[in-house]
Structure 1
């Protein structure tokens, strides 16, 4: 048995709002090449609201109307950053207030998922134990909507506490809510285990690192927790170009190297000489999901060309993304033969 794989793409992967690339143009570009589903980036929605002189809620209503017109499925609203475990409870109260806005926007967009990346704040500012209670609180709020909104928790290679899918499963067990799920991402699976924490010249993977990744993928393929993984995101990894292209902002030199790479040069699969074993990772995910009815695989990439002011960027990137997806689809189909 094989699940129905629904391919999607993140709007931020189709051009930067800072460069004037419009949310609705990106949605149309995704539809034009063949994507049936899309993840809405909050940054794109916020830019659309500002440009059109509308509130965020009105922008969400406009966007939902366009999705209806194009018969596109909204997957998620993302990313709600650095939420859980903040020791300063006055700051937590403000983040919770923002979370309520995000949930309302997701409800209007009919996006079933709100993505919450694992906190990246320093250990002096957050608590893992407090974070679990905060995630329970957030998930309970999300459950009040009809239909319930699911909190999609994403571990990253530089998260403060939760950096692997195994740790994310342990966290999900502690949150213990049906509308709490985990986001799998090729970048975070592959780079954390396989490559050095350098944005410029990732060290060749050691034999030990490769074995760790192989063991992790074998375990992932056999895990009984498939239902906990609501979304699988795809991108490759490549060294950060030096200097960065015109318009792309300089990165914080004190930030973790993988974070810098993530935000500047995560190309589409099978393009630009990427570093990650994407087919192997995807085959493990596919095997893990084999008994699911429907799964979502989404392109989430960050490439220098997204910062170009050229108006054709959304269409160009959508075309590359769809070609990338079709090649991966063939690779997965070959596995079944």
Structure 2
């Protein structure tokens, strides 16, 4: 699959220096396919989009499963990417049809997927897909995240996209497959305080970050909903190529304020910041940005 291209003796002098931002994703459109849904023997056509993690305003935005432009944040797939598009009658527990699809010139192309295959034109159909492609089963599918995401490849391997669309057979026009990130992203950005004490920029540049007590496994259903298991572990995030930002992809999950969460080590000293008050859920497709200005006071 195509991957993009895509710190304290410590430490925060006051809690007011920790800035938390939780925001929802927004769509970024790719090139559109022709919208004449009845052309070429009733072939079903698709448009597509990818929702980026809103809040990813860094100039070095790490790549995930699909290409994300580092300057604009616009998402896209690459020619030759593959997925499987599933089609089922909405509200029915009947069979699901699966069609292999290849991304070419801004749209997903399939063989032999036509409106004629789905009855008299009144049925409502549910189209859905994962990227990278997943094999359909009628049961929940397992998820397991790499806990070491310190390289671009390991970080990208944690990503999963999902798209879903309802469309009546009798409706004309292309089916919009708008993909969203199933995972949640945490970004920790470190900088030197205006009153750092003996802490230096070199210390900040050499700092390391570990994300603690996060779920590592779970399941996902055909709607893209994730249910986590109770297994917890620590995650090593990906450090930005420039600056001191650390990013990690995590399963959507409930969290408990006060739980040890962000561990930062610099100049041989370590401090751990807890899940902040008011944060109880890590939502899919959203990003939490934690900005920490570091000083040597309060080191542990």
Q: TM-score, length-normalised on structure 1? A: 0.26
Which has more radius of gyration? 2
Q: Flag the structure with higher strand content.
A: 2
Q: TM-score, length-normalised on structure 2? A: 0.28
Higher relative contact order (CA 8 A, sep 6+): 2
